[in-house]
């Protein structure tokens, strides 16, 4: 196994890490990493074949187990998260599935948040429940709620911060300390923040994962997942990932690696654009409320400042109007597109009350604090003045 964490990664900035940390893993003279578009690799001797077949994450045995293109991208992800090792998967859902199936067994108990990405909630509520795994869902804004939910059979505390769509935060240091105190593995979905804005492992969390479809890829052109942590945990998750078959293909690994090269630059511009948009919206007479941890009036702004170095490219806001007015506002947008997903170059908008109307009742929306006029914005990398002009023009038209 190649150790990804080097002394250099401790002193280099994230941009240098993302461009150089995987250099030694490229065995060719091609400056851009080759795409190893192959399902299998040739062993020159019987001994070599034994090593290839038995070494965890061997990059040159069989692509479901590993691939040199995976290895290079994984080296970058591990170093950015401050981890020993990383693993890429075929999607963010592939990452969360491999984690929970690797770390839980029949009779295990999980403490999770009331608010997670819907797919993660679905695994806990509809899949693990079929195999005798129970979950207690807690208010993520209350560190005491995590402690109160722990049972003797709790094996995993699952966190996600900030969460969609109201940008609620979890105190990662407090959760990590709780996990350490009780010998429970702590896991964080770091998709919204990215390691540029938040490094959960530095705060004591054991494992982080991503929908790499989002900021890691950054260009809305791939679907992928990633997990990072210590070598022993990553080996367990990797073993489950090859059993489930949630392997990322070589071309998307290459695209992901290309996206990662500019992660710092992109995320900082997402942060800058979003703070400007949040301030503009907060001052706009047709906007009732803005949810962005970078704004001083966000109820967890102090926690955001303590555990994040930037506040992400995600925000949500409520129009001063009803469901129909919100739809009219979206229809008047010109630059900004209505689409699922987030974290890429294009600014995207979602109207949760419209998007989830088929699967959520009015009561459920109210319980989750999702008003009919709430919209979620993934602020892209267009010029911030142009993004704001598009929003202002559509607000004026309502």
Ligand X SMILES: Cc1ncc(COP(=O)(O)O)c(C=O)c1O
Identify whether 8 is a catalytic site residue.
no
Smallest gap from Cβ 307 to ligand X, in A, equals: 17
* 214 flagged as catalytic: yes
Task: Report d(CA 108, CA 156) in Å as an integer.
Answer: 8
Min dist CB 369 to ligand X, Å, is 18
Residue 376's beta-bridge partner residues?
316, 350
Which is closer to ligand X, CB of 205 or CB of 280? 205
Q: How far is the CB of 12 from ligand X (least distance, A)?
A: 27
Q: CB nearer to ligand X: give 252 or 384.
A: 252
Among the listed residues 65, 84, 85, 117, the single catalytic one is 117
Which of 5, 60, 199, 214 does the annotation list as catalytic?
214
The catalytically annotated residue of 15, 62, 64, 288 is 64
Which CB sits closer to ligand X, 92 or 259?
A: 92
Nearest approach in angstroms of CB 46 to ligand X is 39
How many beta carbons lie within 10 A of that of residue 286, not counting itself?
15
- Other CB atoms closer than 10 Å to residue 151's CB: what's the count? 13
Q: Which residue is nearest to ligand X (CB)?
A: 92
Nearest to 242 by CA among 1, 34, 69, 61: 61
* Shortest Cβ 130–ligand X spacing (Å): 20
Q: Which residues sit at the interface with ligand X, rule CB under 6 A?
A: 91-93, 117, 119, 160, 164, 189, 191-192, 211, 213, 223, 225
Nearer to ligand X, 172 or 287 (CB): 172
Closer residue to ligand X, CB minimum distance, 280 or 314: 314
To the query of whether residue 117 is one of the catalytic residues in this protein, the response is yes
Does residue 312 come out as left (phi exceeding 0), alpha (psi in the -120 to 50 range) or beta?
left
Residues 198, 203: Cα–Cα separation, whole Å: 9
Q: Among residues 171, 189, 252, 390, which one is catalytic?
A: 189
Cα–Cα distance, 44 to 344 (Å, whole number): 43
Confirm if 395 and 287 have CB atoms less than 8 A apart: yes
Using alpha carbons, select from 240, 253, 256 the residue that is nearest to residue 68: 253
Pick from 127, 115, 129, 195: nearest CA to 162: 115
Instruction: Say whether 286 is catalytic.
Output: no
Residues that are catalytic = 64, 117, 189, 214
């Amino acid at each position: 196994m190649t150790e990804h964490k080097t002394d250099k990664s401790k002193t280099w900035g994230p941009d240098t890490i993302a461009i150089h940390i995987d250099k030694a893993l490229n065995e060719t003279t091609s400056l851009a990493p080759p795409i190893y578009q192959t399902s299998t690799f040739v062993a020159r001797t019987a001994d070599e074949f034994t090593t290839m077949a038995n070494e965890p994450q061997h990059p040159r045995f069989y692509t479901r187990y590993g691939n040199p293109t995976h290895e290079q991208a994984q080296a970058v992800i591990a170093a950015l998260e401050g981890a020993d090792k990383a693993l890429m998967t075929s999607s963010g859902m592939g990452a969360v599935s491999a984690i929970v199936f690797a770390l839980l067994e029949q009779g295990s108990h999980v403490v999770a948040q009331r608010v997670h990405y819907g797919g993660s909630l679905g695994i806990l509520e509809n899949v693990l429940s079929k195999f005798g795994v129970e979950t207690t869902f807690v208010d993520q804004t209350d560190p005491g709620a995590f402690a109160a939910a722990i049972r003797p059979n709790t094996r995993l505390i699952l966190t996600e911060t900030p969460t969609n769509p109201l940008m609620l935060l979890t105190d990662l240091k407090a959760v990590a300390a709780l996990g350490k105190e009780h010998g429970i593995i702590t896991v964080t979905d770091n998709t919204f923040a990215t390691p540029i804005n938040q490094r959960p492992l530095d705060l004591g969390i054991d494992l982080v994962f991503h929908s790499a479809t989002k900021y890691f890829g950054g260009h809305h052109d791939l679907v992928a997942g990633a997990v990072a942590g210590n070598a022993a945990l990553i080996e367990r998750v990797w073993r489950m990932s090859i059993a489930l078959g949630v392997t990322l293909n070589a071309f998307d690994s290459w695209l992901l690696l290309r996206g990662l090269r500019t992660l710092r630059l992109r995320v900082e511009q997402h942060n800058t654009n979003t703070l400007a948009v949040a301030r503009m919206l907060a001052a706009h007479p047709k906007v009732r409320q803005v949810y962005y941890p970078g704004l001083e009036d966000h109820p967890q702004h102090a926690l955001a400042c303590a555990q994040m170095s930037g506040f992400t490219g995600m925000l949500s806001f409520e129009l001063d109007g009803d469901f129909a007015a919100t739809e009219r506002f979206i229809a008047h947008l010109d630059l900004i597109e209505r689409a699922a997903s987030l974290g890429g170059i294009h600014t995207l908008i979602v109207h949760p009350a419209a998007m989830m109307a088929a699967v959520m009742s009015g009561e459920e929306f109210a319980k989750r604090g999702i008003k009919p006029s709430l919209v979620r914005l993934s602020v892209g990398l267009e010029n911030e003045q142009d993004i704001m002009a598009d929003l202002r023009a559509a607000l004026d038209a309502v």
